[in-house]
């Protein structure tokens, strides 16, 4: 698969080891919940889990290469300072910058990004995703 790096140069890499395994675990219970939801729509698409973002140590939770859609699940620590995750306010700001880098990467590569938060999980449906994000995940 070829993606653009942050300098907008194409980089071809083999990402086969990141192909999703629908019936295996995920990094968190919430991410597993999202994965199980997506399976009904995407199980026959080319989908990656924990796909590295070129030039960083960051990863996309889910990337559907067939539809060019990234789905991220952001826990509370992505929007609120949490000493356990961030250590300091500076750590929290660094976390926000990392999230922004993922968004930039998606924009450079014309990937539609969906960022789900905890309150979205109880409402998940294809129509909810469409209404909130304007994206047809089917």
Query: Which residues are CB-contacts of 112 (< 8 A; sequence separation ≥ 6)?
Result: 67, 68, 69, 70, 106, 135
Q: What's the topology of domain 2-128?
A: Endonuclease; Chain A (3.40.960)
pLDDT digits (tens, 9 = 90+) for 2-14: 999 999 999 999 9
Tell me the whole-structure pTM to 2 decimals: 0.87
| Sequence-ordered list of residues with C-beta below 8 angstroms from that of 38, at least 6 positions apart, any chain | 47, 62, 64, 71, 137
Instruction: Give 79-86 contacts, CB < 8 A, sequence gap 24+.
Output: 79/117
Residue entry with tokens 């675990």: 25
Per-residue confidence band for 66, with pLDDT thresholds at 50, 70 and 90: very high
Specify whether the CB–CB gap between 58 and 98 falls below 8 A. yes
């Amino acid at each position: 698969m070829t993606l653009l790096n942050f300098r907008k140069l194409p980089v071809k890499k083999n990402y086969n080891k990141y192909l999703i395994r629908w019936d295996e675990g995920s990094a968190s219970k919430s991410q597993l919940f999202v994965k199980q939801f997506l399976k009904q729509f995407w199980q026959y698409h080319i989908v990656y889990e924990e796909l590295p973002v070129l030039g960083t140590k960051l990863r996309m939770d889910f990337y559907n290469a067939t539809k060019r859609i990234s789905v991220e699940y952001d826990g509370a620590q992505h929007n609120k300072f949490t000493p356990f995750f961030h250590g300091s306010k500076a750590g929290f700001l660094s976390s926000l910058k990392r999230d922004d880098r993922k968004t930039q990467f998606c924009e450079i590569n014309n990937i539609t990004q969906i960022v789900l938060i905890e309150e979205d999980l109880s409402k998940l449906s294809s129509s909810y995703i469409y209404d909130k994000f304007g994206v047809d995940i089917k």
